[in-house]
Amino acid sequence: MKTAAARIGTLAGVALLTACAPAPTPHPVSAPAPPTPPPSTSPPPPACSPEGIRITELGVSAAMGLRAMGLELLNCGNRPYVLRGYPAPSLRDADGKPIAVQIIPGARPITSGFDQPPARIVLRPGERAGAALLWRNLVTDPTVVASNGAHLDVAPLPGRPTYPVELDGPIDLGNTGRLGVSAWKRHNGTSSTQPPAPSGPPSTAPTPDSRL
């Protein structure tokens, strides 16, 4: 009996010491760091303007010194947007100073194929319209400094607000000082990433005098 009692007392003492011993401190486990997303190489899309539109460049096609730049107007608002006429572009140099440019609706003195008259277009939210800017990179007078438009601003129609349009490269007018514009036309389905190809030789029709 004494032996059994002694064993019970020994076991009770061991249990008491174990209960009083400080618990081991757990080592903190750090959570794995979230993967770092790769840096974006494409600029963010332009914001929707207060009047509910966004104008972007579609790219430039070039042949024999003739340039054609596509423009796209998206109705990113929540109400119909009405167009009838030509976009109203203006150019600035690398320092942001305005460049004097003769704007030619229809571009007939520059090339043919872009003289379709404007029609009334009603764009519902999400619909698009397209137009083109036309010019020739010519230097015909060595005494006149060639113009390079580093910045482009476009109003959807004359008299409406003007918005900056990001360019992939300069608008190299040479010393012609002329920029043609085609009328807005509805884009059906998915818009093209390239402007329509110009066709035909330069026209000798009189130049409408329209300066910005």
Asked if residue 38 is part of any domain, the answer here is no
**Phi, then psi, of 6 in degrees rounded to 5:** -65, -40
CATH number of the domain enclosing 69: 2.60.40
Asked if residue 89 is part of any domain, the answer here is yes
Q: What is the mean pLDDT of residues 92-102?
A: 93
Q: Look up the domain containing 82 and give its range.
A: 53-185
Count of domains for the chain: 1
Confidence of residue 147 (pLDDT cuts 50, 70, 90): confident
Residue 19 CA, chain-centre distance (Å), reads: 70
Least confident stretch, 40-44, 59-63, 103-107, 113-117: 40-44
Asked if residue 208 is part of any domain, the answer here is no
**Can you read off the two tokens belonging to residue 153?**
């601003």
CA–CA gap between residue 117 and residue 126 (Å, rounded): 24
The pLDDT assigned to 129 comes to 97
pLDDT of 152 higher than 60:
yes
